[in-house]
Structure 1
Amino acid sequence: MNTKLHAITDQNGPPLSFFMTAGQVRDYTGAAALLDSLPAAQWMLAERGYDADWFRDALKGAGPTFGG
């Protein structure tokens, strides 16, 4: 059994919010769970598991902080 920890951190690294899933669950499950917790930001650093059209569209729809 393994797990994945999906986290939102500030620019210095301390966690602001996190969500745990089973290891075999796709990354977009964690992304969807944390989407409403994202703070206002000018940029985002994420691994490629979060690179999906629906996620980019959701960020664009979030307003000017994410290029919307």
Structure 2
Amino acid sequence: MQAAVGDRIIIESATLGRSARFGEVLAVLGEQEGPPYRIRWDDGTESLYCPGPDARVRTISSAVESV
């Protein structure tokens, strides 16, 4: 997975009835746009995050194209 500052991270829940988690990439700390990432989650908390198989990235460019 690769992400850039400003991209959105979406973590889909594998648990029935549990909603997805959303966050914004504040910093890319790995090489070649790789993890770990510093994320600001929609609840206002920040953390370092290494994506698992349940995560996907919505890039800034794809968000602009869909407007």
Name the TM tier (shorter chain): under 0.3
Higher relative contact order structure (alpha carbons within 8 Å, sequence separation ≥ 6): 2
TM-score normalised per structure 2: 0.24
TM (norm. structure 1) is 0.24
